[in-house]
Amino acid sequence: MNYSCPLCQQPLQFGDNGYRCANRHHFDQAKEGYVNLLPVQQKSSKEPGDSKAMMLARREFLHAGFYQCLSDAINAELLEVLSSKQSYRLLDLGCGEGYYTGRLSKAFEAAERQLQVEAIDISKSAIRFAAKRYPTVDFAVASAYQLPFADQSFDAIVRCFAPSQHQELLRLLESGGQLLTVTPGEQHLFELKSAIYPYPKPHQLPTTELEGFSHRNRLRVSQTLTIESGAAITALLNMTPFAWRMSDTQKAQLAAKPLALSLDFCIDRFERD
């Protein structure tokens, strides 16, 4: 772990079950193994990020394997592109409860490849669960807009459905470093949109132009999925922003019978100039 102080940007040193900088700012390591590097000055609310209910719903849905096709595609892309050196350092930005992070770490381990994974999220409840489940990954509570790492700390960054600050991505990646972004494809969960909106519109695909980066690859991962379990359907609804647009009656109606869904993901890989 090579953290920087979120208050003064000085390097943090580990000792006495916590991290301390030269200016004596101190951050305790939690018993689960993560460190909270989100000072109150960077919080927009008392408990920023996804709520515990949303995190638990996402955990239930993802660990049932419904989005494994996306996880496998992310792992395959990174295993292919991160192959010229003995070891790499990667940041999972907005890691949530750690599903993609944990599977990525295990994929490199299975391929006998060295990958040091750092992962951050602004949700303390998500990071607490992730650190307990994936002890080989270094987790921290932190803001994606003020990342607690030194310049050019990473060979690769993964940003899966997560907001970020563009200058921070440029700052943290080495020249030639890889940025992998995951966004919804045009038809992703379109059936849910159709149940909510009278005139649903497809998602817009993201731009392939990012200042300071060259676009190297776009991969579409699409799959038709039928969810039989009412509990899994409810978990899906509760982990997405669609939950805020639906009444309890609408949710119950959708969960009462098998739900056919379109999964559509867009994976873009950029290289730092």
Angle at the Cα of 125 (from 124 to 128), degrees rounded to 5?
85
**Does the annotation flag 5 for ligand binding?**
yes
Tokens of 50: 């996804």
Helices 124-133, 52-62: axis angle to 10 degrees equals: 40
CA–CA separation, 198 and 224 (whole Å)? 22
For residue 264, the one-letter residue type is D
Q: 225 forms bridges with which residues in the sheet? A: 261
**Residue 188 annotated as binding site:** yes
Is 21 annotated in some ligand binding site?
Answer: yes
| Residue 52 neighbours by CB distance under 10 Å | 15
Please name the residues in contact with 39: beta carbons below 8 A apart, sequence gap of 6 or more: 6, 7
266 is in an annotated binding site: no
Is 203 annotated for ligand binding?
A: no
Does 8 carry a binding-site annotation?
yes
Return the closest-CA partner of residue 243 out of 3, 5, 54, 67.
54
Residue numbers in the known binding site are 5, 8, 21, 25, 67, 97-98, 188
Residue numbers in the known binding site for Zn(2+) are 5, 8, 21, 25
Residue numbers in the known binding site for S-adenosyl-L-methionine are 67, 97-98, 188
